Structure 1
């Protein structure tokens, strides 16, 4: 079914306008303002206020987030395999009497 019904398209556009349109923006601004006032009075914990603000960012940023994920998924390439360089010096063990913490707790005189 590649043909879209005009009624279905109109319904989706109406829902889109309802969720991220001017009415939703005004309600989000009012919600954040009320949350801020309640936080100032000490009635709302900080975690709940962050949830409200981050929820607004996710709702209004959803189209951008989805585009970012979809473009990242299209540009995924296989990682490049890098072989180790043959010029790496061998790791040498320090002498048995070596103490890296010697003198660390003593004052410098």
Structure 2
């Protein structure tokens, strides 16, 4: 007897496993966010041709690592954009201040006696 884990809407199993006393484990290698979704487990009676038995109740497969990594990349990108915008704004303020000081120094001061 073998077990197979199927994702709804897909014909090929996500993983297969041999039967053990504890049930079945499905180590998932090379997973990505598109592997998330509703799944079901079926057992296969191995004879001359495998017979797919009734599926289990559905379960939700959630791949979190990819979402967390994507969130971190988005957060880092947003921080870098904010730092870049702040740097440009600060540079413009410095240039405006220097321009103002230059125009003040260039205007001659008239003294009244």
TM-score after normalising by structure 2: 0.25
**Greater fraction strand:** 2
**TM-score normalised according to structure 1 size:** 0.26
Question: Per chain length, whose mean CA-contact separation is higher, i.e. which structure has more relative contact order (CA < 8 Å, sep 6+)?
Answer: 2
The structure where helix makes up a greater share of residues is 1
